[in-house]
Amino acid sequence: MAYSPSPIPGISFTNPTLSKTRRLSSSHYSISKKPRAMAKEVYFNHDGSATKKLQTGVDKVAELIGVTLGPKGRNVVLQNKYGPPKIVNDGETVLKQIELEDPLENVGVKLVRQAGAKTNDLAGDGCTTSIVLAHGLITEGVKVRLIF
């Protein structure tokens, strides 16, 4: 008997490990009827306010994390809801804790967080430097975008 790895309804096959023939039916398949995740809010940038808020979020992150850059980088105090405050001078640790109240500013934080995380994954370090560079790129890109 031949073994057919494709589970097509109505096709019989033999499993060589169990040596039993079994007929597949359509009851073995389930199709998920759950709706796909949809965006909670959609923002349009007709007047430039969405871009400005996104830029504000990026500015806040770069200002906070930029102080930890270099050999004379300063410390940042992190206060969690529970437990004692932590004093750190690592940009990656600070970046993980940043959460802003404004959703558009928080999108800017997430963009910069993604840049820092990818740099840290690939190089093992340089999270703070990539955030400062991303801030510069986004700032200049927004300036060019607002001109046109």
On whether the 49-147 domain is CATH 1.10.560.10, my answer is: yes
87 Rama class: left (phi>0) / alpha (psi -120 to 50) / beta: beta
pLDDT tens, the chain, 148 aa long? 554 455 555 544 455 554 444 554 445 444 555 666 666 777 777 777 888 899 999 999 999 999 999 888 899 999 888 899 999 988 888 988 888 999 889 999 999 999 999 998 899 888 999 999 999 999 998 888 766 6
- Do 114 and 107 touch, CB atoms closer than 8 A? no
Say what the pLDDT of residue 125 is: 86
Say what the pLDDT of residue 44 is: 72
Q: Which residues are registered as beta bridge partners of 12?
A: 23
Q: Which residues are registered as beta bridge partners of 21?
A: 14
Distance between CA atoms of residues 76 and 93, nearest Å = 10
Residues 6+ apart with CB under 8 A from 145: 51
Say what the pLDDT of residue 132 is: 93
- The 3-state DSSP class for residue 106 equals helix
Helix crossing, 127-147 with 103-123: angle to 10°?
Answer: 130
Say what the pLDDT of residue 38 is: 62
